[in-house]
């Protein structure tokens, strides 16, 4: 098999339509384009657990293509890898249905940050069917004017951990979205990559390896600067009192720490970023900066294991490093939503209605909102950002205020509740909350000032 790198023309997703795919029943469409019709660099997909966020990413991964010979397939040439995924790794048919449909729309020819030029919009329709015994029967694919063997994207599931993938694997043997479908799938071991690159630089003085080593090192340090990681090197590291061995280590506020000894948040970032960058180095061998070349990344739970301060800044960091990569990610964090709106990203809400998932595209403009306001917006639909205990105390306080007469015991309880609640931050949860809270305080002060006790009234 040839190991010649595949360098397809720039291509980005514009939309995805799903029908009878897992929780999606009637046809639903997710847009990945900006208001002007060009592909958006970022799309963040939100929703409760189980509404189909990961399903959408897996379906997108299905447009990557491969030559598949299946005896029962209705099309036997280059077909979306969707049919392979469905028959071998994934069974996405909606319960009780025998046929599903997926439609992709995507642009070709222009890079993300290219401001002029006409967008060429292509499409692919894929229909898959199962028989009476729910065995995969085959798929039928239709295209506009699309070279089916040229579409590549890179997918990362929530279980992205250091693996044993080797540098010797050719580009054509690497499943670029394996971890989306299997939490145990191996990603490239970042320590192996850096050790091999360090060896090549020392032995062969290879300029391309030196370039890529420095590019990836700078990218990792930029993303990790929020944790005050200031340097990285390949040095002998003593393990368990034995002889030192070459290893990758990072300079932290606590000194030099080997990658494998760092927190899971650091490791998760380094693993998928190194895996992705290494694939770009292979895909664009002649580029002065492969990290700035066109690509598509699908990433599940992008906020996984990250401190809130990192969640707020990660979109900005990645946008600056991978300037022409389209990121489509799922998340559960209001901080990611806040960062996404600042970056003019698409924010998509998947919501269960009855027995199926409905797509809401940018349902609410939350630009400039605080995190507590976003939590109580339609994106997360929390009634309040306060704790359950505080809500119970506020409810009790309101109940006492609504009573016509208070007993001495109740008056004492109201005074204690008011004193306790006044000492808490009065953070707003809606644009009108501050006025409502001021009015509530006025009512409490007035009530406590004039309400006679039950004993005095008797």
Q: What is the pLDDT along the chain (458 residues), one digit of tens a residue?
A: 345 555 667 889 999 999 999 999 999 999 999 988 899 999 999 999 999 999 999 999 887 655 444 444 444 344 455 555 555 567 888 988 989 999 999 998 888 887 677 788 888 888 888 877 777 777 777 877 645 446 788 999 998 776 655 554 444 446 788 888 888 888 889 999 999 999 999 998 889 999 999 999 999 999 998 889 999 999 887 666 667 788 899 999 999 999 989 998 899 999 999 999 999 999 999 999 999 999 999 999 999 989 999 999 999 999 999 999 999 999 999 999 999 998 989 999 999 999 999 999 999 899 999 999 999 999 998 888 888 999 899 999 999 999 989 999 999 999 999 888 887 765 554 545 666 667 777 777 777 765 544 444 44
Number of neighbouring beta carbons within 10 Å of residue 229:
19
Q: What is the fold of 11-188+268-375?
A: Rossmann fold (3.40.50)
Question: Which residue, 209, 258, 249, is CA-closest to 231?
Answer: 249
Tokens representing 330? Answer: 């799922």
Please state the pTM of the whole predicted model.
0.85
For the sheet with 99-108, list strands across it.
28-31, 11-19, 99-108, 120-130, 136-143
Residue with tokens 């929780």: 23
CA distances to 216, 228, 256, 305 from 253, rounded to whole Å, are: 21, 7, 8, 20
- The first and second tokens of residue 389, run together, are 């205990």
Beta bridge partners of 348: 45, 361
Burial class (CB in 10 A: 0-12, 13-18, 19+), 191: buried
Distance (Å, whole) CA 380 – CA 333:
9
Cβ contacts of 287-293, under 8 Å, gap ≥ 24: 288/211, 289/215, 290/212, 290/215, 291/215, 291/216, 291/219, 291/321, 291/322, 292/322, 292/323, 292/324, 293/324
Cα distances (angstroms) measured from residue 326 to each of 32, 153, 176: 9, 9, 15
């Amino acid at each position: 098999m040839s190991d010649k790198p595949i360098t397809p023309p720039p291509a980005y997703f514009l939309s995805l339509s799903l029908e009878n795919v897992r929780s999606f029943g009637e046809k639903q469409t997710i847009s990945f384009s900006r208001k002007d019709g060009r592909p958006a660099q970022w799309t963040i997909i939100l929703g409760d657990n189980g509404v189909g966020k990961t399903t959408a990413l897996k379906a997108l991964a299905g447009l990557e293509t491969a030559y598949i010979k299946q005896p029962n397939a209705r099309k036997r040439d280059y077909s979306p890898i969707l049919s392979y995924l469905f028959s071998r790794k994934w069974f996405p048919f909606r319960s009780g249905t025998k046929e599903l449909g997926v439609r992709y729309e995507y642009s070709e020819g222009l890079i993300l940050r290219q401001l002029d030029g006409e967008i060429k919009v292509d499409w692919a329709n894929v229909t898959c069917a199962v028989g009476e015994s729910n065995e995969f029967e085959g798929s039928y694919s239709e295209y506009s004017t699309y070279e089916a063997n040229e579409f590549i994207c890179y997918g990362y599931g929530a279980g992205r951990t250091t693996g044993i993938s080797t540098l010797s694997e050719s580009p054509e043997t690497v499943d670029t979205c394996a971890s989306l479908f299997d939490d145990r799938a191996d990603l490239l071991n970042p320590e192996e990559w850096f050790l091999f690159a360090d060896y090549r630089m020392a032995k062969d003085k290879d300029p391309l390896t030196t370039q890529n080593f420095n590019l990836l090192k700078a990218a990792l340090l930029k993303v990790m600067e929020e944790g005050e990681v200031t340097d990285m090197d390949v040095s002998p590291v003593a393990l368990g009192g034995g002889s030192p061995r070459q290893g990758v280590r990072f300079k932290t506020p606590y000194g030099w720490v080997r990658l494998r000894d760092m927190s899971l948040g650091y490791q998760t970032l380094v693993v998928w970023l190194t895996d992705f960058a290494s694939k770009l180095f292979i895909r664009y061998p002649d580029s002065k900066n492969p990290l700035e070349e066109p690509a598509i990344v699908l990433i599940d739970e992008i906020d996984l294991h990250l401190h809130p301060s990192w969640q707020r800044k990660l979109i900005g960091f990645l946008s600056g490093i991978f300037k022409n990569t389209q990121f489509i990610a799922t998340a559960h964090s209001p901080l990611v939503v806040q960062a996404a709106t600042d970056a003019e990203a698409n924010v998509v809400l998947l919501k269960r209605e009855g027995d199926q998932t409905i797509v809401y595209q940018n349902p609410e403009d939350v630009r400039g909102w605080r995190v507590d306001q976003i939590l109580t917006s339609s994106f997360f639909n929390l009634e309040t950002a306060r704790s359950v205990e505080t809500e119970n105390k506020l409810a009790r306080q309101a109940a006492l205020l609504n009573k016509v007469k208070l007993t001495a015991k109740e008056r004492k309880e109201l005074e204690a509740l008011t004193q306790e609640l006044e000492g808490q931050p009065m953070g707003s949860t809606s644009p009108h909350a501050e006025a409502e809270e001021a009015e509530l305080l006025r009512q409490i002060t007035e009530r406590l000032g004039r309400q006679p006790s039950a004993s005095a009234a008797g």
